[in-house]
Amino acid sequence: MKFSSVEKQHLLRAWLVISVAFAIMLSGGFSFSEQFFTAAVMSAVTVGLGFLLHELAHKFLAQRYGCIAEFRAFDTMLVLAVIMSFFGFILAAPGAVFIHGHVNKARNGRISVVGPVVNIVLAYFFFAVLIATQAYAYGNQLISNIAYYGLSINSWLAVFNLLPFWHLDGAKVFAWNKRIYAAALLMAIATFLVSIQIMSSCVSCNPELADACLADFFLPPYFLRGGEKNQSSVRQFCHLT
């Protein structure tokens, strides 16, 4: 892939700011504490990486078709995300890939579907990490937290982006090929259901985390709610049984 110096700055800015915004929400505010640093690492690896690779997948295929494709951060939305994070919720739209060139309906559909597919692949990667971590009686707690959050974030990203409305990827894929759209949506929903099952296991092994798990799962990543309860679920992930 080809990147301009301006695009590299926009990618880095979007990744860093959205990661900090989610870290603020998850840890209950900005600080130089270990809790905030942990939340920042989790956010960068899960939310930040999910957004970044989703957009880069669009860019990669567009460039393969000979188009000019560059990511641009939405600075206003990034600032808004940071402000909202202090109030315990985030409406995240860090940026988008702008494409110039010959893009017909089929190419537009293919370019659009690769973003959610990347999120599905990422979700199952985090799922595999979670299983591997839980296979050990004394698995690393931070890795478990990251893996669970990465699974839930990316599965929801895939489902949300495949909704056939507005300017979302799903609308373009649906207009191109309804069979491929159905297959991608079913795959995303299946991934989403895996996250639900893991959330249910979390609740069953520790009922006190029920509200926290529900808040963490059903609201990320475009609209997330913070607060004391879902901060506790970030700090504590129960081992699956």
Is 55 designated active site? yes
Catalytic choice (7, 34, 55, 228): 55
Q: Are 223 and 89 in contact (CB under 8 A)?
A: yes
3-state DSSP of the chain: CCCCHHHHHHHHHHHHHHHHHHHHHHHCCCCCCHHHHHHHHHHHHHHHHHHHHHHHHHHHHHHHCCCEEEEEECHHHHHHHHHHHCCCEEECCCEEEEEECCCCHHHHHHHHHHHHHHHHHHHHHHHHHHHHHHCCCCCCHHHHHHHHHHHHHHHHHHHHHCCCCCCCHHHHHHHHCHHHHHHHHHHHHHHHHHHHHHHHHHHHHCHHHHHHHHHHHHCCCCEEECCHHHHHHHHCCCCCC
Q: Which residues are catalytic?
A: 55
